[in-house]
Amino acid sequence: MTTNRLFLILFFLIGIQASSLAQVKPKLQYSIGAGGSHDGANMLYGINFTNELNYRLGKRTSLNAGLLFYQSIGGLEKNEFAPGQRNLDNSSGFFITPSFKYNLIQRPSGFNLSFALGPTLQIGGEGYMANINYFNPESGPELVNFIDNYQRIGIFAELEAEWKTKNPNVRNAASISASGFDSYLQWYINATYKVRFGLGKK
């Protein structure tokens, strides 16, 4: 799915919900969160920190503006290095993500299960070590460190569970999200715990 098609789908879904604005007053919510991440392209694991602003459109729909920071802290693959050489594989970045969210399940208890979709802009990069000795493998690997810097647009998808707390103005949430680039949806996978605060009137 191209980014242009994604924008068209989002505008179409938002237009469908425009008629509900008169029945449900908009409500603003702010969320902070943290969790673990997986870089599927480089087989790295890391941590993420997120900030979100949520604007409710209707009973089940809302618009989100998210800013997530990711930093790798280790690798999932074992690599053999020469004496004195160390693994420099790493990745990090800021992800700026507007998205459209729809509540798939709403329970009287306050439990909600929602799905969000939108474009994401990554500003960041990665460093990795690769063997460039293709023609004389018997002499051993020749490892070279590469660095790639990114400013690219991809696709963001998220499944989120949200529930009430004792404070009526505070809610908890846990989500699984994926950010995809270059036709690889699971490039980054994030599991994030969030605390959500209501702003303004319902």
Q: Say if residue 21's pLDDT is above 80.
A: no
Q: Which residue has the higher pLDDT, 84 or 51?
A: 51
What domains, with CATH codes, occur in the chain?
Answer: 3-15+32-76+85-199 (2.40.160.20)
pLDDT band at residue 1 under the 50/70/90 scheme = very low
Q: What's the rounded Cα separation, in Å, for the pair 176 and 184?
A: 17
For the segment 33-49, the average pLDDT, to the nearest whole number, is 94
Q: Is the whole model's pTM more than 0.75, yes or no?
A: yes
Q: What angle is formed at CA 189 by the lines to CA 100 and CA 78, rounded to 5 degrees? A: 170
Q: What is the pLDDT of residue 107?
A: 93
Q: What is the pLDDT of residue 74?
A: 87
For the segment 56-82, the average pLDDT, to the nearest whole number, is 85
Q: What is the DSSP code (8-state) at residue 165? A: -
Q: Give the position of tokens 């963001």.
A: 156
44: β partners: 39, 75
Q: What's the rounded Cα separation, in Å, for the pair 30 and 64?
A: 10
Q: What is the pLDDT of residue 20?
A: 43
Supply φ then ψ for residue 15, to 5 degrees: -65, -35
| Nearest C-alpha neighbor of 55 from the set 75, 34, 31 | 31
Q: What is the pLDDT of residue 25?
A: 43
Q: Contact at 8 Å (CB) between 81 and 87?
A: yes
| Nearest C-alpha neighbor of 54 from the set 94, 104, 102 | 102
Q: What is the pLDDT of residue 191?
A: 98
